[in-house]
A and B are shown apart, each in its own frame.
Chain A
Amino acid sequence: MEWSIRLVASASIVVIFLILLFVMREAATLFVGKSATTTQATSTGAPTADLAPESYNPDAEAAPASTEPDVYNPEAQDPAAAGSQGEPGAPGQFIYASKNPKYPEIYNPDTGLLPTDIDEVVEETASADTLAEQSVLSKLGGDAWQPVGEIPKFGVKPLLIGTFKTTSIAILIGAPLGILAALYVAFFARRRVREIVKPAIELLAGFPSVVIGFFCLVTVASYIQDVTGAPYRLNAIVGGIGLALAVIPIVFSIAEDALSAVPKTLREASLALGSTEWQTAYRVMLPAAAPGVFAAVLLGIGRAFGETMIAIMATGNAPLSSFSPLEPARTVAATIGSEMGEVVWGSEHYGVLFFMGVMLFVFSFGLNAITELYVKKRLIKKFQGQ
């Protein structure tokens, strides 16, 4: 019995590490694949040298070890056959177009397609790439996110700014509301009220985020535009409010638990000294529950920057490098969520998306670690004496 519990527990820990390993491996193709591409392109430039053969040209002759070519490009094995079917919008055509949007007409199945053509084209775009940007890292540091442009740009800065904008708006709205609601329910509400309000807010935590996103998209966006006169209907404030709706129940339920766990005698002692309920709540109970409340806010931050659906629906989803809350934003999570579905497997874009996944993982891990090791200790000292 005991060993099975141990097994399940350790398995769940292992699974978390395996997920991280998988994501990091996929992101690593970005670095490994790119360096191979540049060296080969500069050294040979001949059509026989496949650029990142296992992923970019599964249909080429020199790629027998390619990863499941027939799954991803079934028509590529026989372009003529694909052409004879001739339907615009056939799967093969779509993949080609996203790979090399610069020359969509070459891949028109109606004209027929030869493997040599493909090699030529890829070689050309690759050389254009090498002119535009040197290393993957400098690419990621760019100012623009245009992953499917003529020259794809993978600057994550606008995405980080967008994430920062929406997350901070969400926390600025959500954390005070959640904590105040928790204070009210824990200390001020009558028992009847508490029994209704507490489960009601906690139920909100299980609310489908797509519904919150839809609500923001339709209702909150119009209202915010009326109030602020913002030029864009969907912007960081709307997204932030949507995320705040997701954050509030989390902050509330954890903060409420922490506040309720403070001994009732402490409240009596404070009231007996002639303090009001409110003074007791914020000068004694809140500091006593500070670690728990802080953890609540932290989990709220984690939820806010990890939330995908609300961010896709309500932020406007435009990767702008603007800190203005009235302009649209695009978060890292929303980018992964909306682009992963149509990215070419194994491409640079694919690697960048996974790289951002690693970033999210590391960021949330780091946030927790810093809190645990440093901030929490300092905060407790500040609030509770040394």
Chain B
Amino acid sequence: MAKDLPLKIETHDFSFFYGAKQALHNITIGIPERRVTAFIGPSGCGKSTFLRSINRMNDLIDGTRVDGHMVVDGADVYSKDVDVVTLRRRIGMVFQKSIPFPKSIYENITYGLTLNERRSKSDLDSIVESCLRRAALWDEVKDRLHNSALGLSGGQQQRLCIARAVAINPDILLMDEPCSALDPISTGKVEELITELKDTYTIVLVTHNMQQAARVSDFTGFFLMGSLIEFDRTRTLFTSPSKKETEDYITGRFG
């Protein structure tokens, strides 16, 4: 498995509760650095919950509780002295629905940068350009950087959101079904982007689309009913799964 690679995110018996309902059951996993890790599984299996636990987005929901350990870079994310804001600056996130801020394209990119520090205009200009180039969006929007981001198409908006997440220069990029609302062409562009970004970032991807997981990821985990059934190299998992449930799912017997 991934034992030979340095691990970025590790969990030990990690459980998650929405009130009395347990959404994750004793997840133990090691996510390798600078690789794309995909989580697949049927709806409601807990893969998104797990993803949102990594940067503590689930804190925003009332009445949630965690158990066990979630370790990023050797430090427990849920220990008391962790500053959530700093943590989230290290762990970028892209959501299922593209959510550009109702600001200009330029301001969308610079938003995360100017939160805590002042930067010079030329500094910002170059960051905006490089981020948009990385997101393969520069050529499409370079003439209207100061127009509202809401005027972009859905695919462009999603790539803008990726550029926005990349701009704050995180170590980890969490992607929660980033292509589920996009057409095949936009999906292709985003997938290209993911492949390109994995040299720099540890990418964790949640997807409904098994072909997508097979295409872009190096490692794949299969979730079912809040448990991690199997986690292995993508090729291994899709060609010779060790668990019956995994095989049933990827061969389309359910889900």
Which residues in A have some Cβ–Cβ distance to B below 8 Å?
A: 190-191, 263, 265-276, 279, 283-284, 287-288, 383-386
Contact = CB atoms under 8 A, between A and B. Distances in A.
B165 interface: yes
Interface of B: 55, 57, 60, 62, 85-86, 88-90, 92-93, 95, 97, 99, 101-105, 107, 111-112, 115, 146-150, 161, 164-165, 168
9 contacts: A271-B60, A272-B165, A273-B92, A273-B164, A274-B88, A275-B112, A284-B101, A383-B103, A385-B107
Contacts of A269: 93, 95, 99, 101, 161
Given A272-B93, A275-B85, A386-B104, A266 B99 contact: yes
Given A272-B88, A276-B85, A386-B147, A265 B99 contact: yes
Contacts of B148: 384-386
Given A273-B92, A273-B115, A276-B85, A287 B147 contact: no
Contact of A270 (B89, B101, B150): B101
Contact of A288 (B97, B101, B111, B161): B101
B165 A273 contact: yes
Given A287-B102, A385-B149, 8 more contacts: A266-B99, A271-B88, A274-B85, A274-B89, A276-B85, A283-B115, A284-B111, A386-B146
Given A268-B57, A268-B60, A274 B101 contact: no
A385 B85 contact: no
A191 to B, nearest CB: 6
A275 B164 CA distance: 13
Pairs A-B, 10 closest by C-beta atoms: A385-B104, A274-B89, A272-B93, A385-B148, A273-B112, A384-B102, A269-B99, A274-B88, A265-B99, A288-B102
B79 to A, nearest CB: 18
Contacts of B161: 269
| Main secondary structure on A side of the interface with B | helix
A274 B103 CA distance: 18
Contacts of B60: 267-268, 271
Contacts of A288: 101-102
A270 B107 contact: no
B144 to A, nearest CB: 9
Contacts of A287: 102-103
Contacts of A275: 85, 111-112, 115
A191 B62 contact: yes
A276 B102 CA distance: 18
Contacts of B149: 385
B115 A274 contact: yes
A284 to B, nearest CB: 5
A385 B99 contact: no
A268 B146 CA distance: 24
A8 B156 CA distance: 48
Nearest to B62: A191
Contacts of B111: 270, 273, 275, 283-284
A386 B102 CA distance: 10
A267 B88 CA distance: 13
B146 A385 contact: yes
Which of A267, A272, A276 is the most central at the interface, judged by chain B CB atoms within 10 Å of its CB?
A272
Nearest to B170: A274
B204 to A, nearest CB: 13
B94 to A, nearest CB: 9
A273 B60 CA distance: 14
A209 B112 CA distance: 46
A70 to B, nearest CB: 66
B102 A274 contact: no
Given A191-B62, A269-B95, A385 B164 contact: no
B168 A263 contact: no
Contact of B147 (A270, A283, A385): A385
B29 to A, nearest CB: 21
Contacts of A273: 88-89, 92, 111-112, 115, 164-165, 168
Contacts of B85: 274-276
A252 B150 CA distance: 28
A274 B86 contact: yes
Contacts of B115: 273-276, 279, 283
A383 B150 CA distance: 13
